[in-house]
Chains A and B, each alone.
Chain A
Amino acid sequence: MTDARPLLEVENLEASVAGKPILKGVSLSIRGGEVHALMGPNGSGKSTLSNVLMGHPDYEVTGGAVRLLGEDLLPLAPEERARRGLFLAVQYPVAIPGVTTVQFLKACVEAVRGREATKAAVFLRELRENARLLDLGEPFLNRPINEGFSGGEKKRMEILQMLMLKPRMVVLDETDSGLDIDALKIVARGVQRLIGPEIGVLIITHYERILTHLPPDHVHILVDGRIARSGGPELVRELEERGYDWVREPATAAASEPD
């Protein structure tokens, strides 16, 4: 079910913020149809990676490459990356006072999918359908986006945006954090709706929970700006049992447990 050509390639990526190096050579390759999980301790650089992928101006890329469907992403502005099919569900969604969810989404959908997709009847039907799937009632659509939304509502709103923009490559930065059991299922349902042989997903998370709903093909563990370990789903279990110390000192770990 996987495509031969990688969807997203990250090669030896180095980046710093405010002059401080955070990413110290990260490599990843994600194909269509694959779900990858990225785990790692607080401050290890997970959000930095997602921001760098999206082109946040605060982060300076000091080395390496990022390609989406073979195209170099680094010279592109964030909006250009979004239009080429990259989507980032951010860890901390931003409120825009006075701009309703409908207005916001209309502007985004028009920018990414073109004017056709925002024709009143079609657009609203699609929006309502997706909102229903995510259990977001009509009032949310007419409220200023993210203003006064609860943590869980904001996360569902990110998924709504994802569904409306129909991206190829999705990065979910801790979308599962702070969600109750039902909301987690709803978010997973939203992502499942999008997933297909063409779509790549990178789930950044601290918890096994979301991965039971969205089982990953590959798991990576980021420690201090480097991928300390990559493997299959079994890595998640091990991590739950042994904690990050186990990956922090790979040399010791390898010495005591040769296999």
Chain B
Amino acid sequence: MTATREGATFASGTATDPAMAPHNMTLTLRIWRQRGPADKGRMVTYQVEDISPDMSFLEMLDVLNEKLILAGDDPVVFDHDCREGICGSCGLMINGTAHGRGTSGGPTTTCQLHMRKFKDGDTIDIEPWRATAFPVIKDLSVDRSALDRIIQSGGYISAPTGTAPEAHSILVPKKDSDAAFDAATCIGCGACVAACPNASSMLFTAAKVSHLGLLPQGQPERNERVVNMVAQQDREGFGGCTNIGECSAACPKGISMENISRLNHDLLGALRAGARPKS
């Protein structure tokens, strides 16, 4: 039984499958190559052939990298892991838009962008997130640890393990819990920063401030949270928010600008109440 299908597992949609072959594409890629933080970096042009429309964008880059490795060249470094749009690892500027929004027709993660959105003969520009707070590590991989430090500065509820009351002792209106969930779906990819002309992390921070601030459990630390997280953004070198909205338009999780209004409202309230950031 096993034998009858042995070998069939991977056989489909390849150049050897005549049904697929006519649709496969040849593309020109212009990719940002940078050896390390000290290197200036440059765009380098590559050709890739036989790209199936069913491939994901990252699978297309895999094809290129396999070729580069065999040729003894340095493969292109990019971050990725889950490849299903949830871990937030991937993030490329594709033809000048974060996660390739301009190509896909709507916000998505880079790993969920598929090659059927491109045409045979296209030239595609691929660059890293660009922001002072996201230094390039190599090629397309950047250091986003600044986002973790924003969470460290207050993006939590202090609930030491084992001290929690019975879950049903805290009632949360469905409306609030749904809104908190929507904000909590931010995957920390940094596309909002990359898309913002000011390289501001406001949408990311606002998503966490909203998530926790909308819940009864999040009230005790609400004022300190917002002032400290906002102060940390500044320390990390992110730009200020001028309400342009590019962040939300690029966000693969649909985090809305409403969250930024909530943050501003909370911040004002906190400052009025005398809350000041820890130095």
Say if A and B assemble together.
no
